[in-house]
Structures are given as C-alpha cells and as structure tokens.
Amino acid sequence: MKALILLSSLGVLSLLAEIFSFKKLLYPLVLLGLTVTFVLNIGEWNTNVTYFKMMTFDNFAVAFSSVIIVVAFLWFLMAEGFFKEESSQTDHYALILFALVGALLMVSYTNMTMLFLGIEILSIPMYILAGSKKDDLSSNEAAFKYLIMGAFATGFLLFGITLIYGSTGSFDLTEIQNAVSVPGKVPGIFYTGVLLMLVGMAFKVSAAPFHFWAPDVYQGAPTMMTAFMATIVKTAAMAAFLRLFDTTFVRVSGTWTEVLWVMAALTLLVGNITAVFQTSTKRMLAYSSVAHAGYMLLALISANVYSSPGILFYTLAYSIGSIATFCIVSVVVNARGDDGIHSFNGLAKTNPLLAGIMTIALLSLAGIPPTAGFFAKYYIFTSAFMAGNVGLVLIAIVASLIGVYYYFRIIIAMYFKEGKHEEVDVDMNHKILLIVIAFAIVALGIFPDVVVRLL
C-alpha cells in the first residue's frame, strides 16, 4: 500500500516538474523513488493487510509487486534515452508511473472494481505512449489499434463482471467465491460471466486467439514501450489472471479449464510457429511474447501449489530476459537503421560483449540451462505434469523446440553470418545494465530457490 501511495505521489510530482522546472532532477528522482518503493513494498512482507476490502497486500501481491518494481527500475535504466528524445518529457514520466500504479492494483485487488480500475489505469497510459512517436505513422497505427482492441477487451471484461455481480450480488472476491460454493445453486449467467472475463483477460495477456493486436502494436510502438508492454504489463495481467481464476473461480474450474487448455495450446503453437516466419526482430519478439503467455497459461490451468511460484518466477525470468533483448535490439536497430534480423549479422565480431549478452538472454528465453528461463519452464512443466496435463506438456515441448529455432536465428546471425557493419556504440550505462542482467539471468538459473520459495 505504501508503495502504491508513493508511486502515485511520484507520478503527480513529475507532472509538476514542468511547471517548477526541475526536469533534469526528475530522472534520478524517479530512480530513487523506485528504490524506496521497493524497500517499502518488501516491508509489507508477511503483514497481509487488507484495505477496505478492496486490496490486500498478501505475499502474493508483495512478491509480484516486487517483480514489477524491479523490472520497472531496470526498464528506467534502459530507457533513459526515451525520456530525453521527446520535447515534452515529464508527461512520459507521469504516464509510466501511473501505469505502474495500475499494475500494482492489478496484483493486489480483492474486488472486481479494483481489478477493472487497475486494468484501465495501466492501459490508458499505454494507449498514449504506444503513439508517443507522433510523426511516425506506424506508431500512431499501433496506438489506435491498441486503443480499439483494448476497449473491446475491456467491454468483455466489464460485461463479465456485471453478469457475475448479477448472479452473486457482490464484487468482492471472497464473497463471490462463497456464493458459488454450493454447485447446484449457481445461476447460469455466472458461468457466462466467468467465460466473458476469461476472454477479457486473455486479450490482456495476448493469448491466442485474442493475440492479433500484439504483433502490430509491439512493432509499431517505440521499442522502449514495447519492452514495457512485454514485461510489466504482461506480468501484471498474468498475476491478475492468476488471482482471479486460481482462487476465486477455482471452484467452477470445470467451466474454464478446457477452454483455457485449448487457448494455451493455440497460444503456444501460433506464437512460436508464426515467430519463425518473421523477418523483423521486433515482430519476432512480439510473437515470442505471445508464446511465453502460453507457457504461463500452463501453470494457470493446473491451479496447484506450483502455479503461483511458477508464474512468479516465469514472469521475472522472462521480463529480465526481455529487457536485455529489447535493449540490445534498440541499440542495434538505432545504429543500423533496420530492424531486420540481418542487422545482427557479424555482431559477434564488432561487439563481442553485446553478442555474448544477447546470447545469454536468448538462451534464457529459449529455456536452455543453466539460465533462469530453463528453470522457469521446468517449474511450469512440473505444475502441468502434476495436474495431469501431459498432453499440454508435450505441446509445450514441441513449442519450445520451435522457439529454439527462431531464437537461434539471431545467434547464428551474430556469430556465423558475415556483416559489413561498423561497431555499434553502446553507452556505459547500458553496458553495465546489460552485464548486471546477464549475471542475474545465470544466477537466477542456478539459485532459483531465492525466488521460488517466496510463494
């Protein structure tokens, strides 16, 4: 809760920066603020306080908030340039910070209204920021598409909430859970409501067949915003999804597990197979991000003791891996002016450090030991196995193999293909950030217990 308040005030403060002209101070101030937020957030560990029956900062919320804050911190370090480029920069700070507030709401809600508010607070800044390259046509297109599709999904979600309210008479998660505890007495519209909410949430995590917006938006939006959407937004949406379905709706799991089973299988296959055919790196990463949602859905369907720690670890591993990849992609694309995979040709010769870190990040995304990505997949597979979803695990194994194919295309381009490019300039901050992330990826892969045993 303290974290939430601090982040909100930081957001308001950054709006004032333009008026009272301390723009230059804002960047360090935000980084400092995030650090303090992190500490405050950790301080609420094991306190389990519930606020007005609206939000609860239980360990689940604190753990996911910590992931979001850590990733946001790394994101800010990466995206320094994003704030320098634009003419009016402070609104960007404010929008990002408010989006983070929304993300924290999404992991801590105990009431449907809070879920809805969280999603909207997160989404609206995203709609704006996706179009923040105002003179770029594809950025505008991305923003517009995202807005329309997002509004559409919100409609589904809201309709679902309404039906659930209509059948149970409450927005409160516990009360809803209690209302449906007697199987025979659940009105039919409740199930419809659950399925509509499922559709809404599937939109937000970009699960197939509701993933069509993702590639266009990811490709069109500024790379830094793509990174934000692929990591923080996805983490928050996944946590919200998990809280809703694995606790509140778990009693009626018969209604949604099969639907979600098919969606997970589709997401895994569509995401991975389509990624293979992409020539643009950003678009490929967009499809890979769709695919990763599919892996996480595996744990969600299983709804057992491995689900929450599995998804927690997965979001962390996937987010830091993605931050590293997007950082390198943006650096390379800026220098070479083309986001095709061939831009990476010969990178190992010109920038061995960059290529090495990219390799580690890609190996992690592909799930090869000893990186964090491997352990994340391992945990998800165990969860699905335990729930008896062997078929889904087999599909996920095939999907991972396909995943290896397209991640390795970049590795092969870097190490094997001859490039005629000059060395890419990387500033010191980015270098340090990337080295830290590379170490974190390996360290999390070797000592996953640090994170996994939290939940």
Partner 1 sequence: MITLLIIFFPLLAALMLLFVKGEQVKNIALGAAIVEFALCLVAFVQYQHGNTTQFEVTYSWIQSLGINFHVGMDGISLLMVALTTFLVPVIILASFSNQYRNPSVFYSLLLAMQFALVGVFVSLDGFLFYIFWELALIPIYFICLLWGGENRARITFKFFVYTLTGSLLMLGGLIYLYLHTEGAHSFDINALYKAGQSLPLSGQGYVFWAMFMAFAIKMPIFPFHTWQPDTYTVAPAPGTMMLSGIMLKMGTYGVIRWLLPVAPLGVEHWAHLAIGLSVIGIVYASCIAIVQKDFKRLIAYSSIAHVGLISAGILAANVQGVQGGVIQMLSHGVNVVGLFFIVDLLQKRYGTREIAALGGIRNLNPQFAVLFLFVLLGSVALPLTNGFVGEFLLLNGVYQYNAWWAAFGGLSVILGAVYMLRSYQTIMLGETNSVTATFTPLNGNEKTVLIILCAAIIVFGVYPKPLLDIAEPSVVKLVEGVRVAMGK
CB of 38 to partner 1, least distance (A): 23
Q: Could you tell me the two tokens for 289?
A: 């991000």
121 and 7 Cβ atoms separated by less than 8 Å: no
**Smallest distance, Å, CB 96 to partner 1?**
34
Does residue 370 have a cis peptide bond before it, meaning omega lies within 30 degrees of 0?
A: yes
**What whole-number distance in Å separates Cα of residue 141 and Cα of residue 154?**
20
Give the DSSP per-residue string, 139-167.
Answer: HHHHHHHHHHHHHHHHHHHHHHHHHHHHH
User: In the range 294-353, which residues lie near partner 1 by CB under 8 A?
Assistant: 309
How many CB atoms within 10 Å of residue 328?
A: 27
Q: Applying CB under 8 A, which part among 47-55, 268-276, 336-344, 373-381 lies near partner 1? A: 373-381
**Which DSSP category does 109 fall into?**
B
Q: Which stretch binds partner 1 (CB under 8 A): 68-76, 93-101, 153-161, 381-389?
A: 381-389
Structure tokens at 291: 């695919």
Binding residue for partner 1 (CB under 8 A) from 106, 208, 268, 452? 452
Tokens coding 338: 């083309």
Round to whole Å and give the CA distance between 18 and 431: 30
CB of 329 to partner 1, least distance (A): 21
| Nearest residue (CB) to partner 1, 115 versus 291 | 291
Among residues 408, 421, 435, 436, the one that binds partner 1 under rule CB under 8 A? 408
By CB under 8 A, name the one of 381, 389, 395, 441 that touches partner 1. Answer: 381
- Helix, strand or coil, per DSSP, at residue 111: strand
Instruction: Find the shortest distance in angstroms from Cβ 390 to partner 1.
Output: 8
What tokens were used for 434? 């990337």
Closer of 138 and 304 to partner 1 (Cβ) = 304
Distances in whole angstroms, Cα of residue 60 to Cα of each of 47, 63, 210, 308: 11, 5, 27, 8
Span near partner 1 by CB under 8 A; candidates 49-57, 268-276, 282-290, 446-454: 446-454
Question: Which of 88, 112, 108, 89 shows the shortest CA–CA distance to 100?
Answer: 108
369 makes contact with partner 1 (CB under 8 A): yes
Determine the interface stretch with partner 1 among 92-100, 204-212, 279-287, 382-390 (rule: CB under 8 A): 382-390
Planar angle of CA 7, 233, 142, nearest 5 degrees:
115
Measure CA of the first residue to CA of the last residue in the chain; give whole Å: 19
- Least Cβ distance, residue 219 to partner 1 (angstroms): 26
Candidates 172-180, 195-203, 318-326, 380-388; binding stretch for partner 1 (CB under 8 A): 380-388
Binding residues for partner 1, rule CB under 8 A, total 27
User: Is 439 one of the binding residues for partner 1 (CB under 8 A)?
Assistant: no
Contact set with partner 1 (CB under 8 A): 309, 363, 368-370, 374, 378, 381-382, 385-386, 393-394, 397, 400-401, 404-405, 408, 412, 415-416, 447-449, 452-453
